[in-house]
């Protein structure tokens, strides 16, 4: 398996996220990626690469032009407001909820931060655009590699910040550019007639669902904590099945807090059955390992060894596969957990 890792990931280092009235240190830290990379290297893997420049035309097929322009220029705008802002992260404070307009783009920077975001846990920093753009390039290069006839059958975009909560024109959930959606788009553009994105992160892949909700060429499937109690709360229910041309091409399998490995794996197998029945010719796995029993912000009970079995099960899909790194916040176990998925996949 080819591992395309992001050499600019640590340009993004958020300081704080809002939690119960306090600003607390971000869970999504730069050490996460280094630990996974170290574990994969220690495991004797040899196929590593860093990406070329991100193809902006691909990003524009997944995200709106106005959102990409905002992300690219946000830090300079923030610092232009006051030089002392250079020492602070950007967090939103106001959002256009029901009845407000999202079609008129405000002039005021703070209002635009809210227009293009959905939570107060995703700081935008000096290097966010650089890191996210290089991460998208990892997804593009990983997908292009598996789409090449002589290339590997599987590749991983090993990057942060993660992507699956980022929608067509919004960031949130620690995510800015939707790497899994970008990989899916590349696989389509390379000739696959239908691609599946299977999201096994603890949290519903709301961004990916929103990007493809009215499309039949990408089947989005997500196994996750029930949004009645779990983040992102406002999407991810079982009755969301796609719309218009996309009707029937979204599957949500929400599971209750405390779900153990057997029930979780059964849901993943259900998703894989639907994926095969839909004739997906390639698969993107949005691989969050925050389903781990020791994860500090999640509640499933998946053990480190169980991730080997997940990998084997995913391999059963029998299609070219791109993995993207999503969540997983038990940092000391993160390397082993991700390596186990990949080892199980290749066993």
Chain residues that interact with Zn ion, rule: CB under 5 A:
201-203, 288, 290, 327
Exposure class string for 129-168: b at 16+ Cβ within 10 A, else e: bbbbbbbbbbbbbbbbbbbeeeebebbbbbbbbbbbbbbe
Number of residues near ligand Q9C (by CB under 6 A): 15
* Residue closest to ligand Q9C when measured from CB atoms: 327
Contact call for residue 290 and ligand Q9C (CB under 6 A): yes
First-to-last alpha carbon distance for the chain, in angstroms, is 12
Distance CA 48, CA 42 (A): 13
Distance CA 207, CA 213 (A): 10
- Count of alpha carbons within 13 angstroms of residue 50, beta-carbon side: 8
Angle CA(245)–CA(54)–CA(340) in degrees, nearest 5?
80
Q: How far is the CB of 255 from ligand Q9C (least distance, A)?
A: 16
Residues 6+ apart with CB under 8 A from 65: none
Contact call for residue 19 and ligand Q9C (CB under 6 A): yes
Distance CA 195, CA 5 (A): 23
Q: How far is the CB of 49 from Zn ion (least distance, A)?
A: 26
Q: How far is the CB of 151 from ligand Q9C (least distance, A)?
A: 27
Which of 295, 304, 297, 238 is closest to 271 using CA atoms? 238
Contact call for residue 297 and ligand Q9C (CB under 6 A): yes
Question: Catalytic residue among 9, 63, 165, 224, which?
Answer: 165
Residue 286: phi, psi to the nearest 5? -80, 100
Contact call for residue 226 and ligand Q9C (CB under 6 A): no
Contact call for residue 327 and ligand Q9C (CB under 6 A): yes
Contact call for residue 160 and ligand Q9C (CB under 6 A): no
Nearer to Zn ion, 133 or 203 (CB): 203
Contact call for residue 165 and ligand Q9C (CB under 6 A): yes
Q: Can 204 be counted among the known catalytic residues?
A: no
Contact call for residue 343 and ligand Q9C (CB under 6 A): no
Tell me which H or E stretch contains 107.
Answer: none
Q: How far is the CB of 288 from ligand Q9C (least distance, A)?
A: 5
Instruction: Decide which of ligand Q9C, Zn ion, none touches 121; Cβ closer than 5 to 8 Å per partner kind.
Output: ligand Q9C
* Residue closest to Zn ion when measured from CB atoms: 327
Q: Which stretch binds ligand Q9C (CB under 6 A): 131-139, 171-179, 180-188, 215-223?
A: 171-179
Instruction: Decide which of ligand Q9C, Zn ion, none touches 301; Cβ closer than 5 to 8 Å per partner kind.
Output: none
Instruction: Decide which of Zn ion, ligand Q9C, none touches 67; Cβ closer than 5 to 8 Å per partner kind.
Output: none
Distance CA 262, CA 321 (A): 24
Q: How far is the CB of 213 from Zn ion (least distance, A)?
A: 20
Contacting ligand Q9C within 179-208 (CB under 6 A)? 201, 203
Contact call for residue 292 and ligand Q9C (CB under 6 A): no
User: Six-digit token pair at 306?
Assistant: 């169980």
Q: How far is the CB of 107 from ligand Q9C (least distance, A)?
A: 29
Q: Which runs of E-coded beta strand occur in 12-134?
A: 16-19, 22-25, 48-49
Contacting ligand Q9C within 36-95 (CB under 6 A)? none
CA distances in angstroms from 67 to 6, 71, 245, 260, 267, listed in the order given: 22, 6, 25, 38, 34
Return the active site residues.
Answer: 165
Interface residues with ligand Q9C (CB under 6 A) are: 19, 121, 162, 165, 173-175, 201, 203, 231, 288, 290, 297, 326-327
């Amino acid at each position: 398996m080819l591992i395309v890792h992001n050499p600019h990931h640590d340009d993004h280092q958020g300081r704080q996220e809002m939690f119960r009235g306090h600003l607390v240190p971000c869970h999504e830290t730069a050490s996460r990626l280094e630990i996974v990379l170290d574990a994969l290297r220690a495991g004797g893997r040899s196929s590593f690469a860093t990406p070329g420049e991100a193809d902006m035309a691909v990003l524009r097929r997944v995200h709106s032009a106005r959102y990409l322009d905002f992300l690219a220029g946000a830090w300079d705008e923030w610092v232009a407001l006051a030089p002392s802002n250079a020492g602070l992260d950007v967090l939103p404070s106001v959002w256009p909820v029901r009845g407000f307009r999202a079609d008129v783009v405000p002039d005021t920077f703070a209002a635009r931060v809210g227009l293009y975001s959905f939570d107060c846990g995703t700081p935008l920093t000096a290097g966010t655009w650089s890191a996210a753009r290089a991460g998208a390039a990892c997804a593009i290069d990983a997908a292009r590699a598996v789409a090449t006839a002589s290339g590997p059958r599987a590749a991983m975009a090993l990057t942060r910040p993660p992507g699956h909560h980022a929608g067509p024109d919004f960031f949130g959930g620690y995510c800015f550019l939707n790497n899994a959606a970008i990989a899916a788009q590349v696989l389509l553009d390379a000739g696959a007639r239908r691609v599946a994105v299977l999201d096994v992160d603890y949290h519903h892949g709301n961004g990916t669902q929103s990007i493809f909700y009215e499309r039949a060429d990408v089947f989005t499937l997500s196994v996750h904590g029930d949004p009645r109690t779990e983040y992102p709360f406002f999407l991810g229910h079982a009755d969301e099945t796609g719309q218009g041309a996309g009707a029937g091409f979204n599957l949500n399998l929400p599971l209750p807090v405390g779900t153990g490995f057997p029930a979780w794996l059964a849901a993943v197998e259900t998703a894989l059955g639907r994926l095969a029945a839909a004739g997906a010719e390639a698969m993107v796995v949005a691989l969050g390992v925050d389903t781990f029993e020791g994860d500090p912000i999640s509640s499933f009970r998946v053990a480190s060894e169980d991730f080997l079995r997940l990998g084997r099960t995913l391999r059963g899909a029998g299609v070219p596969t791109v993995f993207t790194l999503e969540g997983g916040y038990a940092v000391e176990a993160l390397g082993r957990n991700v390596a186990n998925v990949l080892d199980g996949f290749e066993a």
